Structure 1
Amino acid sequence: MAQEILEASKMKLVFDYGLDEDNKPVYKTKTFNRIRLQASADQLYQAADAIGSLSAQPLWNIERNDTYQIGE
């Protein structure tokens, strides 16, 4: 039976930069690599909230991207 092994985790913060000339929303992202694999959602949220508070633009979204190795 195949198994998955968590290899890496990234946290991506998405900031709202307002609207462009066509009234479409503009978002910019900042990705943080090498996030602790054991970090909980609450811990990531607290870290993202602290980092987001340092920005002039509001924090729009927080994403976590995990990479797994699949094997037997």
Structure 2
Amino acid sequence: MAVSQMIRSQLQLVFEAGPDSDGEITYKNKNFNNVKTEATADQLMAVTNALVPLQERSLYSVERNDSSVLVI
């Protein structure tokens, strides 16, 4: 039976960058690597809430990207 083991986690903040030449909203990402794989969603939101006031752009979304390996 295979088991999934999380090896890496990343916090990604997506900000609205304004409209492009066609009027479509564009986005900019800020990635924070080396996030502890044990970090909870509440802990990541606490970090996000501390970082957002330091940014010039409006926050659009918060994402967590995890990488895992399958161990046989």
Scaled to the shorter chain, the TM-score interval is over 0.9
Cα deviation 1:21-58 (Å, max 9, x = unaligned): 21100100011100011111011011112111100111
Query: With structure 1 as the length reference, what TM-score do the two structures score?
Result: 0.93
In the other structure, the counterpart of 1:67 is 67
Which is worse superposed, 43-52 or 7-16?
Answer: 43-52
Task: Give the structure 1 partner of residue 45 of structure 2.
Answer: 45
Q: Helix, strand or coil: the match of 1:45? A: helix
**TM-score (norm: length of structure 2):** 0.93
Q: Report the number of matched residues.
A: 72
Structure 2, unmatched stretches of 5+, are none
Q: Percent identity?
A: 36
> Structure 1: how far apart are the matches of 2:39 and 2:2?
24
Which whole-Å CA distance do the structure 1 matches of 2:49 and 2:70 have between them? 32
Q: Aligned-pair RMSD on alpha carbons?
A: 0.8
Q: 1:18 deviation in Å?
A: 1.6
